Amino acid sequence: MAGGFDLVLKRGTCVTPKGTLVADIGVREGVVAAIGDLGRQPAADTIDASHLHVLPGVIDTQVHFREPGMEHKEDIATGTLAAVKGGVTTVFEMPNTKPPTTGEAELADKFARARGRAWTDIAFFIGATPENADRLGALERLPGVSGVKLFMGSSTGTLLVAEDAAIERVLRAGVRRLAAHCEDETRLKARHALAVEGGTPHFHPVWRDEETAVNATRRLIGLARKTGRKVHVLHVTTAGEMALLGQARDVASVEVTPQHLTLAAPDCYDALGTLAQMNPPIRDDSHRKALWQAVADGIVDVVGSDHAPHTLEEKAKPYPQSPAGMPGVQTLVPLLLNHLHEGRLSLERLVELTSRRAAELYGILGKGAIEVGFDADFTIVDLSARRRIANSWIASKVGWTPFDGMEVTGWPRMTLLRGELVMREDEVLGQARGRPVRFRETATEKH
């Protein structure tokens, strides 16, 4: 619209790098064009955001959408639909699909599948293997690639790089921050009988114990320092790891999940059984408290959902044949808003954990803040709305959440992607318009 805006968000409480303020946001050609009192300036469309908070579009940097190869659990269309219903505008999808995403062909196939079907903007990780280690430096620089994912311990799928020599080769092969699943494979194998003999999911954190995680994280930090490669430790679950990572800010950044911040053993296994089973496991309340302390201390950089759905039929298998993982992309925002309501974090810290820091760590262009020139991605929330999370609300193909029946305060009311309204009051609107995420050429984070 000549001389005006395509869209103006009116009178929302906007969380910006310059502070939290009531302001209008003018959008033109998919990007933020103005922030302030825009008065009666012409606009093709307006949205009244008064009494609501406008956050930068939430970035979930760890999802498993199961396509290709496991589409009976989830696919790119249903996974990203769940994301926008939950207020998420950008996702990073993990490589442990069938086949795993380990080269150019598999990556091209995923982008082709996402075209016209992804409701969010999307990036894909390349999975590290001993076989592709020497090519990772080139692969991580391909357009739309969020980086390299390293599995030090076996989880869902076949990707595994367990030995220090092979991990060192992977670390030396590139320059971008590497994302790692830290569980010690030797200890996992040695302790597996504990899970079989225990026979219930209560034994999941016994088998995959604290030392299994701490050992792997300690090894990764040492190798990161040796090679000069920065790493991002995913879904940290233990007090011991947080103590190590607090002293390793020079090389390591930290993710936690809403599940590990919200649930605790043994109660979650009593109530949910195998629905609470994930890798690394939900642990007891002493570890959950340590995670929250790390959030308060600034050790935690990012909250990612580790959305990893399995069908209820698969989850009903006897433990430990039951698969590990649970849906999470749609409940990430409501859970964190509820923790905000209960005083565990500030609104500014929530934005840092869900958008700003992810953009910095991964070198995302045009996202992570409400700023002129940035993509007009917004997660508009009602901090006072009281809702009950229910399976009937879940858009994921598996149709369940471990948080079914939980009452929360705080709810996503609208999701906008590049200035287009894609969700309003639980209704998904328009058509899938997601694009590949753009990254800075060097993707070296700011400090």
Q: In terms of C-beta density within 10 A (0-12 exposed, 13-18 middle, 19 or more buried), how is residue 49 classed?
A: buried
Output helix, strand, coil percentages for the chain, rounded to the nearest 5: 30, 25, 45
Is 75 labeled as catalytic in the residue annotation? no
Rounded Cα distance between 413 and 137, Å, is: 41
| Phi, psi of 430, deg, nearest 5 | 70, -140
CA angle 209–149–94, rounded 5-degree value: 95
Count helices and strands in the chain by DSSP H and E runs: 15, 17
Q: Are 410 and 441 in contact (CB under 8 A)?
A: no
Rounded Cα distance between 77 and 109, Å, is: 15
| Phi, psi of 320, deg, nearest 5 | -95, 20
Q: Are 57 and 354 in contact (CB under 8 A)?
A: no
Q: What's the DSSP call for residue 437?
A: P
Rounded Cα distance between 169 and 135, Å, is: 11
Rounded Cα distance between 230 and 252, Å, is: 6
Q: What's the DSSP call for residue 397?
A: T
| Phi, psi of 277, deg, nearest 5 | -80, 120
Question: Is the sign of the CA dihedral 4, 427, 91, 257 positive or negative?
Answer: positive
Cis (ω within 30 of 0) for the bond into 68? yes
Residue matched to tokens 């092979």: 166
Q: Which is the catalytic residue, given 6, 301, 306, 375?
A: 306
Which amino acid makes up residue 106?
A: E
Which residues are identified as catalytic? 306
